[in-house]
Every structure is written in structure tokens, then in C-alpha cells.
Amino acid sequence: MSGSQRFTYLFNKYQKGTCSETEAKELMDFLEDPTNDQLIKTDAYNFWNTLSDNIENDSLDGMLLELHKRIRKYDKETNKHRFKNNRFTNFLLKTAAVLTIPLILYSGYLTFTGEGWKNYASKIAIHTVHVPAGVRTDFILSDGSHIWLNSGSVFKYPDQFNGKLREVELIGEGYFDIAKDPDHPFIVKSGVLNVEVKGTAFDVISYPEDTEVDVIVESGLVNLFTGQYEGRKHLAALNPGERMTYNKNGYSASVTQVDAAKYTVWKNGILVFRDDPMSEVVKRLSHKFNVDIELQSPGIAEYVYTATFVDESLFQILDLLKISAPLDYTFIEQKKMNDNSFSRSKVVISTIKNQPMKNR
């Protein structure tokens, strides 16, 4: 039996609840081995195809890309990309989200690591949720805490919280509305930076490709630290309306006053920019749509932009940028690599010659 067939066999048994302890351990080893990523992704694709026979593409990422192509084509044909009541475009965007739900569910299988495996017999497990590009999701944890995950995020959480701490792990961006429990602090591990709360609403932005981690507090009190909880190094205590930016390279932190809502409305499908430099704008667009964005011309990064977007596609937003400033862009399609994976699509933004840049 090949590795792919064995993985499919084990996962099917797991879904039916018929895995033995030895088989569950073998499945865990499959999932934790990064060399199996393509195998797992292929199996997820096959699983998705059983739910949707009308999709023809050779990758999960390609499915979403194809939807974006259709949206862009419709925009150009109708010239209605500037209007928020574009019913067909909104339908396609919602379709993209719906089609991705099976992948989120498929990625939410139980995996076991460290102490989690020791608790296998008592059915305490760690869930891992992968959120595809261009999709948001939310759910309720066992303690009543409400979690929203942004595009491209990975989130790990236990079936049940046992012990003194309520611990979860985040890669990407998450908004947390934490159920109050003063006796059991809630800990978000986000790489080098950890967040401690006891009943708070806040946002964490921690993508691995970024040099900085941001934490924005909407309500309550947030304590930030590095290292393990016992023996931790305290960095800052944040109040509502404060943002801490932690530089992962320089190990330095700065705290500023902000409009917290500007950073948290993404959970409602809204992107808000208020006098933000273009470097910040393209970083958030890159995260949301899983594309690389290059600012090709000098001076674009400092261009200040103000706008609000409600569930617009990437191409709608780029076209709006062209309307508001002497900018143009080139979209470079993703390419299939030798290992059957795909490179990220790329957008190159440049200025139009002989036209001055004016902040909007």
C-alpha cells in the first residue's frame, strides 16, 4: 500500500471513529511530517471533489484563483466594479467562501502532539484549523470564547481546557472575544510573542513572513510576554485603544494609541484604511488574498491612503487604487512548480509617468 493510500485509509477510519490507538498514532505521524504536506493537500482536493463535481482545477488554490478570474472578467465586461451592490460579484465571493468550507472542516481533524497524545485515552485532543486565502471563519471554544480567523491563518486549540491555563496557538490573524475566567488565564501563543487575558476582546496579527507582531486591544486588559508562562518576561500591559508592535528581529516593542475598530472590522468582511501608508495597505492585501505585492516605483510606499472596502475582490480594490492615484498594476499568475505545488500569484504596482502622487 502506497503512502497516499495508507493516509487515505487511516483518515477514513478516523472519520468513522474506528481507528485503533496504534493507527491514530500513525495518522498523527503522517500529519506532523512536513514532507507529507502535498500528499495531505491532494487528499483534501479529492475530498472536496466528492462534494463538488462541477469544479475543474488542479489545486485547491487554483479553485479560488479561478473564482477571482471570473470576478475580474465580470468586472471588466460590466464596468461595475466600483459599486458595492454588484450582486453577481458578491455571489461569486460568497461561493468562494462556501466552496472552501469543506477544506476548513477537513483541516479541522484531530491531531495529537506532546501532552495531547498522552491524553488520547481520555479523548482530549488538539484541533488544527487551516483557513484558506480569501476566507474568514469563526467558531466558539469549549469555554464560550468566540474566535474569528482571518485569511491564511492556522489555529490550534484543545477539545477541552484542563489545568490552570487555557492555551491556544495562532499563526496569522485572529480576533478573540474571551469568556471571563479570572482563575484560568487565556494564553495565545503567536511565535515569539504570547498574550495573556482573563476576559478581553483583542486582535493579534502574527504572520510568519512579517518582521512584526501586532496586538490591538478593543476591551479589557492584555498582558504581553515572551518565554514560558512560568518564568515569563513581561513586555507590556495594554488597555483598550492601544496597539503594541513587537519587532521579531530587534526584540523591541512600541505602544501607540489607535482606533481599535479600524483593525478589528475585518471579521465583518470590511477593510478600513485611515491615512495608512501604501506599505501597510499592500501588506494587509497580501495577507487577505495570499498574493505577493511588489511596490516597484520609488515613493509609493509612503503614499498615504484612506478607503473602506466591503468584501471587494482583489481586482476591484486594485482598480479602485488606480482611480484614486496615478498607479497601475500588473498581475502575474501563479505557476505550477516541479513538486506540483504552486507559487503565489504576484501583483506589481508602479506609478504612471509624468503624473504626480497625491495622498488620498
Give per-residue pLDDT as tens, 281-339. Answer: 999 999 888 889 999 877 888 888 899 998 888 999 999 988 888 889 999 988 877 77
Contacts of 291 (CB under 8 A, 6+ apart): 285, 314, 344, 345, 346, 347
Q: Give the per-residue pLDDT at 26.
A: 77
Cell numbers placing 127: 484541533
For the chain, the residue count is 360
What is the torsional sign of CA 86, 87, 90, 91? Answer: negative
Q: What amino acid is encoded at 120 in this protein?
A: Y
DSSP secondary structure code for residue 240 in this structure: T
Q: Give the per-residue pLDDT at 17.
A: 56
**Rounded CA gap, 49 and 43, in Å?**
10
Q: Give the per-residue pLDDT at 38.
A: 60
Farthest CA pair distance, the chain: 70
Cell numbers placing 151: 485569511
Find the mean pLDDT for residues 43-69: 47
Are the C-beta atoms of residues 246 and 193 closer than 8 Å to each other?
yes
Contacts of 52 (CB under 8 A, 6+ apart): 99, 102
Which range (115-124, 254-263, 346-355) has the least confidence?
115-124
DSSP secondary structure code for residue 286 in this structure: H
Which range (101-110, 129-138, 261-270) has the least confidence?
101-110
**Rounded CA gap, 147 and 131, in Å?**
13
Question: For residue range 145-159, what is the model confidence (pLDDT) as tens digits?
Answer: 999 999 889 999 998
Are the C-beta atoms of residues 124 and 243 closer than 8 Å to each other?
no
Residue 97 — φ and ψ, nearest 5°?
Answer: -65, -45
